[in-house]
């Protein structure tokens, strides 16, 4: 029998709100940026929570700012800083009902993956802290141990999520028709339709209509 997997979006699915916002807030706490720098991210967070989706403009802005911040910096200290930031926000941002879903899948022998547009550094730390199988996220180029400020593969978004889990299925032998996906975002439709059991978490109106039409379970977390 082929193994099964469960794939989880991160922002507004596993956690309440945007991981990038929490990251930027953590940068301010640790003295890496100023309050002025965080103002635009706070506005993006507000819009994100209101719309329950990832607008292209918010993603483009956040990616650009994070690339500017990371450019030329060594990878290892930034990962260490990410761990501190995740330690600060994860306990109160993690949605309890989704933590329970992760544990349920693990108890059934399913592999559990985070697949997110958020930075891989944050996603992998969260996956490790939750004892999940692993994570895929937006990955900045690293040359000789330092960030170049470039995204060779672009954000982990839309069709790239579907392509990623298709590759994982080939590598691990997953039966995607018997696997699961969880997301709040209409942008994740390619991911959701790639599995046999899509699950919608706290959706906006547009995604609710699609979920109801397809009889997909809706989780009010």
Q: Which residue from 52, 50, 47, 38 is spatially nearest to 9, judged by alpha carbons?
A: 52
44 catalytically annotated: no
Angle, in degrees to the nearest 10, between helices 19-29 and 56-70: 30
DSSP annotation of 176: G
Measured CA to CA in angstroms, residue 6 lies from 25, 56, 92, 113, 124 at distances of: 30, 26, 23, 6, 16
Active site annotation includes 9: yes
- Spatial separation of the C-alpha atoms in residues 218 and 94, rounded to whole Å: 18
* 95-125 residues labelled b (16+ CB within 10 A) or e (exposed): beebeebbeebbeeebbbbbbbbbbbbbbbb
CB atoms within 10 A of CB 66: 23
Which residue numbers are catalytic?
A: 9, 11
């Amino acid at each position: 029998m082929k193994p099964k997997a469960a794939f989880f979006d991160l922002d507004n699915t596993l956690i309440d709100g945007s991981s990038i916002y929490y990251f930027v807030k953590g940068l301010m706490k640790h003295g890496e940026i100023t309050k002025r720098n965080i103002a635009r991210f706070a506005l993006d967070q507000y819009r994100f929570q209101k719309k329950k989706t990832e607008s292209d403009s918010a993603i483009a802005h956040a990616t650009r700012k994070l690339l500017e911040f990371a450019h030329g910096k060594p990878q290892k200290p930034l990962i260490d800083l990410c761990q501190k930031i995740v330690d600060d926000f994860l306990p109160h941002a993690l949605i309890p009902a989704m933590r329970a879903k992760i544990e349920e899948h693990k108890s059934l022998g399913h592999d559990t993956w985070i697949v997110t547009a958020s930075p891989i550094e944050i996603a992998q730390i969260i996956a490790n802290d939750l004892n999940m199988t692993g994570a895929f996220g937006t990955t900045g180029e690293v040359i000789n141990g330092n960030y170049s400020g470039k995204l060779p593969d672009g954000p982990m978004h839309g069709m790239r999520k579907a392509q990623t889990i298709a590759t994982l299925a080939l590598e691990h032998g997953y039966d995607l028709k018997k696997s699961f996906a969880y997301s709040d975002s209409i942008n994740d439709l390619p991911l959701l339709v790639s599995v046999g059991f899509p699950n919608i978490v706290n959706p906006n109106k547009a995604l609710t209509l699609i979920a109801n039409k397809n009889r997909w379970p809706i989780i009010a977390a």
